[in-house]
């Protein structure tokens, strides 16, 4: 049973527009959420994270929003650039136990010029 779900396998956006990537989770014990970006033939690169005590975290062009009641988070990229084209993974962890990361299946973002 997948605890972290990314229901959109792919997303296409034009350069300069906003990209919105979505992620849903089912485990109410999750309290730390991360986004990773992965280029082909490379490992995932940490992008941005958010703790459950916040509902928004911003870093440059990247903003993550957390809606705890809906168990939903989203990553906004504004403005989108062709270099943002990659697979984006959502991940979550809980404070209890080993605090392991649970990953979604990823969303492939394509930003066209």
Partner 1 sequence: EADIYQTPRYLVIGTGKKITLECSQTMGHDKMYWYQQDPGMELHLIHYSYGVNSTEKGDLSSESTVSRIRTEHFPLTLESARPSHTSQYLCASGFGGHNQPQHFGDGTRLSIL
- Site of interaction with partner 1 (CB under 8 A): 2, 4, 9, 31-32, 34, 36, 41-46, 49, 51, 89, 93, 95, 98-101, 103-106
Question: Are residues 33 and 39 in contact, defined by beta-carbon separation less than 8 angstroms?
Answer: no
Question: Quick one: 69 or 96, whose CB is closer to partner 1?
Answer: 96
Measured from the CB atom, is 9 or 16 closer to partner 1? Answer: 9
Min separation Cβ 16 and partner 1, Å: 27
Total Cβ atoms within 10 A of residue 99: 10
Write down the least CB distance from residue 32 to partner 1, Å: 5
Q: Which of 81, 83, 82, 86 is nearest to 106 (CA)?
A: 86
* CB-side neighbour CA atoms (13 Å) of 74: 12
């Amino acid at each position: 049973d997948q605890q972290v779900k990314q229901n959109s396998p792919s997303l296409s956006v034009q350069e300069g527009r906003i990209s919105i990537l979505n992620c849903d989770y089912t485990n109410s014990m999750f309290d730390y959420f991360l986004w990773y970006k992965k280029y082909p033939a490379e490992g995932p690169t940490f992008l941005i994270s958010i703790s459950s005590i916040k509902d928004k975290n911003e870093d440059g062009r990247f903003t993550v929003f957390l809606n705890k009641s809906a168990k939903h988070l989203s990553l906004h990229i504004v403005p989108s650039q062709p270099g943002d084209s990659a697979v984006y993974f959502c991940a979550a962890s809980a404070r209890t136990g080993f605090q392991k990361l649970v990953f979604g299946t990823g969303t492939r973002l394509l930003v066209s010029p």
